[in-house]
């Protein structure tokens, strides 16, 4: 997600095509082409310019709706809505048949279309396979010199990441499920080992000594491995710990 203003001028974008299986956006004002995943103009008068990123979450609608009761929803295109689930299913089938970008399948550490959660902090990039997160959430890690925590929501699909420091103190988190015994799904709480404070999925202290405190959010991008690696060639991959 990007701001649409460049040098104080509001640009209006439309879909121009697909490059490396990413959308190419064309602005009406200058005719420049912009790469969706990087926000960089790759062709036209504004070539080389960079759009300013807008922080966003990777959430399911159910979680977003619960957190943003007064939030607005983009009205669906009536022609697409009439197709029901067919549009999404057809799109996924078409994408699955596409060849990955030549050369991006050289790194065999992951299959090209493995879904990863990509994070860049302190000049370092790490790819967290979604399957690893679904087995081991939260993940406690350090990227560069920054201690972080990556977690899935109760839907086992939405994902967020935060710096896990408060007032310079590193916190270690573990997950406590609220529900039937031995259940790893449904509502949960995060508890830090240092103060036993309870934290919610928004990274906010809900109870205990750190109630009301907010962990600093970290930008995450859910992407295919081949695409993440293309734009982050020095990325490492998180390896899941013993289960």
Of 19, 10, 5, the closest CA to residue 230 belongs to: 19
**How many CB atoms lie under 10 A from the CB of residue 215?**
24
Letter string b/e over residues 25-56, b meaning 16 or more CB atoms within 10 A of that residue's CB: bbbeebebbbbbbebbbeeeebeeeebeeeee
Do β-strands 33-35 and 41-43 pair in parallel, antiparallel, or remain unpaired?
A: antiparallel
Of 219, 209, 137, 204, the closest CA to residue 173 belongs to: 137
pLDDT at position 9: 93
Report the predicted TM-score, pTM, of the whole model to 2 decimal places. 0.80
Question: What H or E segment, with its residue span, contains residue 86?
Answer: helix 85-97
For 107-134, the DSSP string reads -TTS-TT-EEEEEEETTEEEEEEHHHHH
pLDDT at position 182: 44
Could you give the CA distance from residue 225 to residue 239 in angstroms, rounded to a whole number? 14
Which CATH fold topology does 115-237 show? Answer: Rieske Iron-sulfur Protein (2.102.10)
Structure tokens at 172: 């270690």
Per-residue pLDDT of the chain (243 residues; tens, 9 = 90+): 889 999 999 999 988 887 766 788 999 999 999 988 889 999 999 999 999 988 888 888 888 888 888 888 877 777 766 766 655 556 556 655 655 555 555 677 898 889 999 999 989 999 999 999 999 899 999 999 999 999 998 888 899 999 999 999 999 999 887 755 444 455 678 999 999 999 999 999 999 999 999 999 999 999 989 889 988 999 999 987 654
pLDDT at position 242: 56
Which residue ranges make up each domain of the chain?
A: 5-43, 61-97, 115-237
Cβ–Cβ under 8 Å, residues 134 and 117: no
């Amino acid at each position: 997600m990007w701001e649409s203003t460049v040098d104080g001028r509001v640009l209006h974008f439309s879909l121009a095509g697909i490059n490396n299986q990413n959308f190419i956006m064309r602005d009406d004002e200058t005719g420049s082409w912009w790469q969706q995943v990087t926000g960089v103009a790759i062709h036209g008068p504004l070539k080389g310019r960079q759009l300013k990123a807008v922080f966003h979450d990777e959430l399911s609608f159910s979680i977003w709706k619960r957190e943003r009761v007064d939030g607005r929803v983009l009205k669906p295109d009536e022609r697409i809505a009439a197709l029901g689930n067919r549009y999404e299913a057809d799109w996924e089938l078409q994408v699955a048949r596409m060849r990955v970008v030549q050369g991006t399948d050289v790194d065999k550490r992951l299959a090209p279309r493995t879904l990863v959660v990509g994070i860049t902090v302190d000049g370092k990039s790490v790819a967290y396979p979604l399957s690893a997160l679904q087995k081991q959430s939260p993940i406690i890690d350090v990227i560069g010199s920054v201690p972080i925590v990556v977690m899935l929501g109760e839907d086992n699909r939405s994902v967020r990441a935060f710096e896990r420091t408060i007032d310079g103190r590193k916190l270690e988190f573990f997950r406590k499920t609220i529900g039937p015994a031995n259940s790893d799904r449904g509502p949960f709480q995060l508890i830090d080992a240092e103060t036993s404070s309870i934290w919610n999925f928004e990274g906010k202290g809900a109870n205990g000594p750190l109630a009301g405190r907010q962990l600093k959010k970290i930008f995450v991008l859910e992407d295919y491995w081949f695409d993440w690696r293309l734009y982050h060639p020095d990325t490492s991959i998180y390896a899941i710990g013993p289960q």
